[in-house]
Amino acid sequence: MSTTPMTLPEEVLLLALRDKEGTTYAGPSYQVALGGALVAELLLRGRIEVAVPKNNRHVRHRLVDLVSREPIGDPVLDEALERIADAKRRASVATWVSRLSSMKRLKHRLAERLVDRGVLRARDATVLLFFTRTVYPQRDPKPERELRQRLRRAIFGATRAVAPRTVVLVALAHQTGLLQANFDKQRLKERKKRIAQIIAGDVVGEATKELVEAMQGAVVAAAVATTMMTTATR
């Protein structure tokens, strides 16, 4: 059982999974959150950076630049890093959020790592009597309990000291509906101003503020694009 801290994509998936059923909450938003979490993890680890074009400073047009292609040692993160490093031309944060959210078997690869950690367990479930799929119900509730407690302190507490990683997680979860899936909607509504302050970067330094702004615009753009694609194919 691994004792290595969870990555942001693993934390996002844990928030997206129903504890007992092991299925994800409805809609494509959690996939967008996974893509955003991959970009954010690479940013926080110093492998990429976000550049602001001189002719267009809009948050949605901020570009991803490679800083280092040194492997992290995590297969999913390293594949994401390789994709960015091998790209023929620069692309926006929103573009990379969309691209990385479509990585092959992303959800299952992250879930399998959480199974290896002893956090989840994998089992086959029957769908429509004839088909089977792998679901990932909770095995050890402690990691998710600690994760939610971290978010709870940030959102419902009064401290200004919110860690950059938690700020990014709040932004991703808020934009993709995962906060509403894990906390009481009325209580979240009462803390609307606090959530806005966190996402705006008012409780962190300038570097993290720029990161959150870039991620916020990227997730919104990618979520809209994914929803449009889903609607068009129905």
Distance CA 54, CA 42 (A): 24
For residue 233, the model assigns a pLDDT of 37
Sign of CA dihedral 32, 177, 193, 191: negative
For residue 173, the model assigns a pLDDT of 92
CATH of range 8-140+205-227; options 3.30.70.2860, 3.30.70.1290, 1.10.3630.10, 3.30.70.20: 1.10.3630.10
Residues of the chain with pLDDT under 50: 229-234
pTM: 0.88
Residues in the chain: 234
Q: Which residue in 112, 120, 115 sits closest to 138, CA to CA?
A: 120
For residue 81, the model assigns a pLDDT of 98
- Composition of the chain by helix, strand, coil, percent to 5: 55, 10, 30
Helices (H), 17-163: 29-44, 75-86, 93-101, 106-116, 142-156
Q: Cβ–Cβ contacts within 10 Å for residue 41, how many? A: 25
